[in-house]
Amino acid sequence: MYLADDIKTLHRKNVLSPWVAQGSLDVPVIVRGEGVFLIDADGKRYMDLSSGLIAVNLGHGNATVLAAMHAQIDRLCFSPPNWFNDQRARLGEALVAISPWGDEGARVFFTTSGAQANEDAVKFARASTGRQKVLSAYRSFHGSSSGASALTGENRRWYNEPGTPGDVVHFWGPYPYRSPFFTDDPATETQRALHHLRETIEAEDPARVAAILVEPVVGSNGVVVPPPGYLAGLRALCDEFGICLIFDEVMTGFGRTGAPFAAQRFGVTPDIISFAKGVTSAYVPLGGVLVREQLASAYDSKPLGSGHTYSGHPLAMAAGLGAITAYREGSYFQRGMRIESWLREKLGKLQEKHDVIGDVRGLGAFFCLEFVKDRSTREPLIAWQGKDLGPMPALFRALRERGVYTFGRYNIMIVAPPLIVEETELDEAIASLDGALDALTAGRRS
C-alpha cells in the first residue's frame, strides 16, 4: 500500500493537474468520500463546502446512485450511441419530466461534459436559426475545450485564443455589487444591462445572431445573481429578434438553486438548457442538452449534426437514473431553499465580524464571499485576473488545516455544500472558516 507521500510523488511525476503550476501543488491525497466529507490517505476528514466543483449535489457515497451503478455494471457497459437503450430512454424521460417546458416537452442529447454540452447547444441553436453569431457574457465560464473557451468571457479562454473571429461576441451582464452600469439600484442595473445588450444585438445585426448563452447565476466567477427582471428581459429580447436563449445550467441544475433548474427558480423558460455535474452527482461523467420540442422536432426529418462515442453511456445513464431517484425521494430539488436560509443568516453574521468580507451573495445552496481591502471603496483584496494571489492560497490552506475544503477565484470564495448537509455540519464548517479568517486578518495586521 502506498503512503500519502509516495502517492504525491507518483502524482507529481506522472499526472498534470488542471489550472495550477505543477511544482507548487501541495494538497491532500483523497481516497474516500462519505456524506459531506472527503477523507484523505491519513484518515483526515474535510467538510466538502463546495460539493467538489459544484457537482456532488447528493454528497459522497449515496446508496441509491451506487446501487444503480453496480446493477448496470453487471448488465451492460457500452452500447452504440445511435442504438436504442433502455437506460437512455428512461433517463431521457426523467430529465424531460423535470424540465421547465411542461406539456410542450423536450428531448435530450447526451454528452460527457458541460463543455461538450455547451458546444452542442450552440450547434443546435445555429442549425435551428440558420444564423452563426453567439452572444455570451464577460465573466462567464462555459468550459475549457476549444469551442467552449470561445464562449467563455474571462481569462481561462485566453489559453485557446485566437478563436474564430466574429462567431462569438461578448457583452457585459449585470453585477449588482460592482455594477458595470454605474448604479447601486437593482432596477436601474436591469434596465441599463438590457439596454446595453439590445445595442450589442443591433450592432451585430439581429438577423445574424443565433443564440444568447448565459449562466442564469454566474458560477465560478463569483455566484452573481441577476437582479429582478433581467432574465425575463433576456427572454423578451430573444423573442423579439428570433434568437435562441440558452441557459448553461451545468452548475445551477439539479437542486442547486432550490429547484430542478434555475429556469424554474427564476420563472424564465429558455429554448435550450445545457447540463452536467449534478445529473449524476458527479459520480460518473455525464452532460447533455435539453432542447425544447419545437426545436428538437426538426431533427425528425434531417440528420442531427453531432455525435460522441460515449453519448448516453449505459453506466452514466444508470447513475443519472439513480441520482434522479435520490433527488426525488429525499426532496433534494427543493432542499436548497432551506439551506439558503441557513447560509444567508450564518454568512451574514460572518460578514458582520470580518471587515474583509465585502459581499455575501447567492441563492439556494449556492453562495460566495467576496473579499475586499476596504468595504467603503470595495477595492478587491486581490485584483481580478491578476497574477498575484496575495493571501488567498494561505486562506484556503488554513481552511484545509481546519478540515474544510472549498475553492475560489482571486478575491471570491465559493460556499456551496451538498444538498444533504445538516445545519450542525454547516455550523462546524463556518466555525472553521471564521477561524481561518481570524488568521488572515491577524496576518494582514502584522
**What are 275-305's pLDDT values in tens digits?**
999 999 999 999 999 999 999 999 999 999 9
Q: Does residue 164 register a pLDDT over 80? A: no
DSSP 165: T
Q: How confident is the model at residue 2 (pLDDT cuts 50, 70, 90)?
A: low
pLDDT in tens, 48-89: 999 999 999 999 999 999 999 999 999 999 999 999 999 999
416 band by pLDDT with thresholds 50, 70 and 90 = very high
Q: Which three cell numbers stand for residue 264?
A: 424554474
Q: Are 244 and 238 contacting, i.e. CB atoms less than 8 angstroms apart? A: yes
Is the alpha carbon torsion for 266, 228, 234, 173 positive or negative?
Answer: negative
Asked if the model's pLDDT at residue 1 lies above 60, the reply is no
Residue count (the chain) = 446
Whether residue 211 contacts residue 126, with contact meaning beta carbons closer than 8 Å, is answered with yes
Q: Which residues pair with 32 in a beta bridge?
A: 39
Q: Above 60 in pLDDT, residue 446?
A: no
Write out the H or E segment, with its range, that includes residue 291. strand 287-292
Torsion angles phi and psi, residue 125, rounded to 5: -65, -40
- The per-residue pLDDT for range 421-438, each reduced to its tens digit, is 999 999 999 999 999 999
Share the mean pLDDT of the chain: 95
| pLDDT above 60: residue 22 | yes
CA atoms within 13 A on the CB side of 10: 7
The dihedral built from the CA positions of residue 434, 437, 442 and 445, taken in this order, carries a sign that is negative
CA distance 67 to 434: 38
pLDDT tens digits, one per residue of 352-402: 999 999 999 999 999 999 999 999 999 999 998 888 888 999 999 999 999
Decide which of 3.30.70.260, 3.40.640.10, 3.90.1150.140, 2.40.10.220 is the CATH code for 65-329.
3.40.640.10
Lowest mean per-residue pLDDT among 76-85, 151-160, 256-265: 151-160
For residues 89 and 26, the model is more confident at: 89
* Second CATH level (architecture) for the domain 4-61+331-445: Alpha-Beta Complex (3.90)
Give percent of the chain with pLDDT exceeding 90.
86
Q: What is the pLDDT of residue 3?
A: 77
Q: How confident is the model at residue 444 (pLDDT cuts 50, 70, 90)?
A: low
| Highest mean pLDDT pick, 26-30, 98-102, 393-397 | 98-102
Among 238, 275, 42, which Cα is nearest to 129's?
238
Cβ atoms of 281 and 271 within 8 Å: the answer is no
Cβ 143 vs Cβ 113: under 8 Å: yes
Write out pLDDT tens, residues 183-227. Answer: 999 999 999 999 999 999 999 999 999 999 999 999 999 999 999
DSSP one-letter string for 297-364: GGGGSS------TTTT-HHHHHHHHHHHHHHHHTTHHHHHHHHHHHHHHHHHHHHHH-TTEEEEEEET
Residue 108 gets which letter from DSSP?
E
* Domain residue extents for the chain: 4-61+331-445, 65-329
Q: How far apart are CA 280 and CA 317, in angstroms?
A: 8
State the Cα–Cα distance between residues 341 and 56, nearest whole angstrom. Answer: 21
- The answer, yes or no, to whether residue 443 has pLDDT greater than 70, is no
